[in-house]
Amino acid sequence: MPRRKANRGRTPAGAPNPVDVHVGSRMRLRRTLLGLSQEKLGEMIGLTFQQVQKYERGANRVSCSRLFDLSRSLDVPVSYFFDDMAVEVSNLSPVQMGREPPKEEPAAAEADPRLRRETLELVRNYYSITDPDVRRRIYDLAKALSSRGDADEG
């Protein structure tokens, strides 16, 4: 049986593995929610900001020991990085890709509005409001505006 060429977990097209992209997007989400720059996170785990950037894009794979360091630095369990992973993405792990060709690659993480920079900054700024009454009023306002938008469309 001929040996398969190592693809380092990438898709047949050479793109980063969707599982690695998901882990990187969860890393970016948590880093942004904590208000950390890529440079600051890199300092915390002994890497350059460029390496953090590659992890967040999924261009480089995160090793087990590095994932452990990241979970401690970002104050989340290791399982956090795999939370909310779509079945379509989990089915594209390197082992799964070797078993059968994927039907189609999942949409990019950027398609998820929860992962947009605007959303992350909004959440971080919301939680930085120290007055609970003001925070509640902003929440109520956002909820009322979104409900009003739904009513206008119907």
pLDDT digits (tens, 9 = 90+) for 3-52: 555 556 666 666 788 888 999 999 999 999 999 999 999 999 999 999 99
48 phi, psi to nearest 5 deg: -85, 160
Q: Which structure tokens are listed for 54?
A: 């590659």
pLDDT digits (tens, 9 = 90+) for 106-127: 454 456 676 677 777 788 888 8
- The answer, as to whether pTM is greater than 0.85, is no
Alpha-carbon span 60 to 51, nearest angstrom = 8
Span 53-75, average pLDDT: 93
> Mean pLDDT across the chain, nearest whole number?
80
